[in-house]
Amino acid sequence: MSPLDGKVAIVTGSGRGLGLAYAKELARRGASVVVNDVDAAVTADAVAAIQASGGRAVAVTAPVGPTETAKQLVTAAVEEFGRLDILVTNAGVLRDTVLWKMSDDDFDTVINVHLRGTFTTVREAVLHMRQAGEGGRIICIGSPTGQRGTFGQTNYAAAKAGIVGMVRTWALELKRAGITANTVVPVAATAMTATVPYFAAAVQAEANGEPMPAFFRHDLGFGTADDVAGLIAFLGSDAAAGVTGQVIGVGGDRLQIWTHPEAALTAYHEGGWSYEALVQAWPTEFAAALQSVGERFPELPEEFKPAAS
């Protein structure tokens, strides 16, 4: 038997890219899948690709965010396949720009799809899973940006950090119902990374059907969408019944368990920390404990550096 035989999954934003890789892997492992995208032709192609490989899939073409879409997704799973066991919230959009140029619409659009869309879809799925009484798996897609920040991505960082906070809360709330909730942080070649010069050699290798260089796969933990899909299938399976409330990074040959925020330093001052006490103590007691921000990439080996224009 395949590990997901008899299971039913919803994968939002699964018409292409990472989401499609997740949907295909879940189907390959035996699950029936509800595919979702905003483009009807894209969802139709995704369903056809899964069915051509012997899987079962149905399409729901609708934008993630509204409660109506969440209800439509759950209804499709239950009416087409009889149940719902796994939800993967992957749908997302980008509106990148620096803080002082970011419009209300730039901010609201990203928050609505990523954060509200995750909330509404998980809420609807959990309503069904709790009533069914057979447990379930919630897998929400995060980002390194939500963990460390990225220049020009105020909206995206807020949404992805918010997803992690919600998932940790859901892990507590859903434990008694046997429903796990985890965040996956993928690092992979996608349409988003294809335009970043740092990843050019890796993206080009994948486009040429060649193995990615070891520097990217091992040192950087950067790989293909298929490299992420195995973790999605694992977290959706019975083998991961004891895994919940976690933030798990995966890419290339690397897997990481992210820490939950903890105090980097704790210090006490009798009577409290006045301005004067802080001025005196900061350089010696606190400065060394300050945390870095943003992603830290190792220097590219010479053979992978883009040619100067």
Q: What does pLDDT average to over the chain?
A: 95
Average pLDDT on 195-223 reads 91
Contact in structure between 212 and 227 (CB atoms under 8 Å): no
Contact in structure between 34 and 58 (CB atoms under 8 Å): yes
pLDDT of residue 192 exceeding 80, the answer is no
- What pLDDT score does 309 carry? 57
143 is catalytic: yes
- What pLDDT score does 34 carry? 98
- What pLDDT score does 188 carry? 92
175 is catalytic: no
pTM check: above 0.85:
yes
CB atoms within 10 A of CB 103: 10
* Segment 128-155, tens digit of pLDDT: 999 999 999 999 999 999 999 999 999 9
Distance CA 23, CA 26 (A): 5
pLDDT of residue 194 exceeding 90, the answer is no
pLDDT of residue 196 exceeding 90, the answer is no
Average pLDDT on 237-242 reads 97
Which of 22, 143, 268, 305 is catalytic? The answer is 143
Average pLDDT on 98-118 reads 98
* Segment 70-80, tens digit of pLDDT: 999 999 999 99
Distance CA 289, CA 266 (A): 10
Average pLDDT on 68-93 reads 98
Which of 156, 175, 237, 305 is catalytic? The answer is 156
33's CB contacts (< 8 A; 6+ apart) are: 8, 9, 10, 11, 14, 23, 26, 27, 50, 55, 56, 57, 58
Q: Residue 283 — φ and ψ, nearest 5°?
A: -60, -35
DSSP state string for 35-99: EEES-HHHHHHHHHHHHHTT-EEEEEE--SSSHHHHHHHHHHHHHHHS---EEEE-------B-G
Question: Of 51-60, 193-202, 269-278, which range is least confident?
Answer: 193-202
Which of 14, 32, 160, 237 is catalytic? The answer is 160
Let me know the angle formed at the C-alpha of 250 by 248 and 254, rounded to the nearest 5 degrees. Answer: 115
- What pLDDT score does 307 carry? 75
Tokens of 287: 């400065």
pLDDT of residue 191 exceeding 90, the answer is no
Higher pLDDT, 77 or 297: 77
* In the chain, % of residues over pLDDT 90: 90
| 3-class DSSP state of 21 | helix
Supply the DSSP symbol for 119. H
103 is catalytic: no
Supply the DSSP symbol for 214. H
CA distances from 234 to 19, 174, 231, 237, 241 (A): 15, 19, 5, 5, 10
Average pLDDT on 248-266 reads 96
Distance CA 194, CA 202 (A): 9
Sign of CA dihedral 6, 167, 216, 18: positive
pLDDT tier at 308, thresholds 50, 70, 90: low
pLDDT of residue 222 exceeding 90, the answer is yes
- What pLDDT score does 146 carry? 95
